[in-house]
Amino acid sequence: MSDRPIRMRGALWRDVLRAVVQVGAMVASGLMLVCRASPGAAATDAVTAGELDVKAAFVLNFIRLVNWSNVAEEANQRELPVCACVKSEFFTAVRSVAAGKTAGSRSIVFKIEPDPDVRRCRVLLVDRAHYQSARQVLRAIKDAPILTVGNGAGLLDGGGMFELIVLDGKVQFDVGLEAIRRSGLDISARLLHLARNLRTGGNGVN
């Protein structure tokens, strides 16, 4: 994982902060829907379109803060494929925010891949509704350089790398360091320092 300085696009992070404020305002005014969460969980998963936009902006930054040039045979690739096993509102929101954008010199593209692998995907998006069915996929790609991002708490338990949660009306994220280590991805340490929790083991992948 790289500890070098990173160049964040100021406009993008301003959009993220603006959206976070909007989500907080929705909570204050009682407009946010009651979220589905595991019993006793502190973090919740909202279902508002505004929150999905915030999460999508986070995902775009996750993608941009991976050093993809360190992945074998990536140097000459023109596209960076973002996949999901099935279509979801989360996938659609990320596609809406990131389609046509770039990560380095590569265009970010989106596809539905029921059986994603390293030849076809560099990022895998998983909605919480599909966490259980995604466990087999996560086991199959656990040693592959594929960034895995989930919408809601629980993806790290199945071997995912990032899970986006809502706490006190703000979108935050937790990170599975063991999953990142096994993938070999070079992810900026500055990004990891922004995480709410860094889980060092117990990702549930054998």
Domains of the chain: which residue ranges?
10-199
Mean pLDDT, all residues of the chain: 81
- Fold classification of 10-199 is Rossmann fold (3.40.50)
With 80 as the cut, is the pLDDT of residue 75 above it? no
Alpha-helix runs per DSSP H in 65-156: 89-98, 131-140
Other beta carbons within 10 Å of 82: 26
Q: Pairing between strand 147-151 and 79-84?
A: unpaired
Residue 86 one-letter amino acid: V
Tell me the pTM.
0.77
Q: Given pLDDT bands bounded at 50, 70 and 90, which one contains residue 103?
A: very high
Residue 202: per-residue pLDDT: 57
Residue 42: per-residue pLDDT: 42
Alpha-helix runs per DSSP H in 49-186: 49-64, 89-98, 131-140, 177-183
Residue 103 CA, distance from chain mean position: 15
131, 139 in Cβ contact below 8 A?
A: no
| Residues in Cβ contact with 35 at an 8 Å cutoff, skipping those fewer than 6 apart | 44, 45, 46, 47, 166
> What letter would DSSP give residue 1?
-
Burial pattern 113-142, b for ≥16 Cβ within 10 A else e, equals beebeeeebbbbbbbbbbbeebbebbeebb
With 80 as the cut, is the pLDDT of residue 45 above it? no
Residue 203: per-residue pLDDT: 52
Q: Residue 111 — left, alpha, or beta (φ > 0 → left; ψ -120 to 50 → alpha)?
A: beta
CA–CA separation, 55 vs 57, rounded Å? 5
